[in-house]
Amino acid sequence: MDALFENYETLLARVSARCEEIESVLSGHMACRKGCGGCCLNISLFPVEALRLRLAFDTLEEDRTAFALAQAATSSDEGPCPLLDETGACLLYAHRPLICRTHGLPILFDDGQGNRRVDFCPENFQALESLSGEVMLDLDPMNQMLAAVNAMFCKALFGDTPPFERLSIAETLSLELE
């Protein structure tokens, strides 16, 4: 099973390294910290992300699993992530999906109307008048790479018919694995 996730793990490592570079440059201007979960929502995941997260979920201690499942049972779409513990820290931080790794950082993206926009946590960069393009993550190519990795993963594991296109994190935690 680990070989199926190789491309995804490589992508995660590349994105994480880039995020660390940006964080090192902007660290004095970032309010993000452990327990700050304002950006942590019950987002939807591609199959490759969902299955990797679900396998990692099995490594949690029973009380943490029960806590997260209880959170998931009452979680709404775009509500808080059910993997946040009582202190607001992520129970599966080391295994968090790609987009979660970018939270708080300045991201550049196409708004769907042909405009390029920059977004970041409003708690960050308050003392800065501007941000250099060198410290931004371009979300569109990252998402394109993720979609390609997901397509290869689905083809290898499911053939032409994956069982789902996307699942929320809450749905992922309840996913039955064979």
pLDDT tens, position by position, 25-81:
988 888 887 778 888 999 999 999 999 999 999 999 999 999 999 999 999 987 999
- pTM beyond 0.85: the answer is yes
Categorize the per-residue pLDDT at 168 as very low, low, confident or very high, splitting at 50, 70 and 90: very high
Q: Percentage of the chain with pLDDT > 70?
A: 99
Q: What does the pLDDT read at residue 1?
A: 62
Q: Are strands 107-110 and 116-119 parallel, antiparallel or unpaired?
A: antiparallel
User: How far, CA to CA in Å, does 41 sit from each of 9, 45, 142?
Assistant: 22, 12, 19
Q: What is the mean pLDDT of the chain?
A: 92
User: How far, CA to CA in Å, does 166 sit from each of 45, 47, 127, 147, 159?
Assistant: 5, 6, 38, 11, 16
Residue ranges of domains in the chain: 2-173
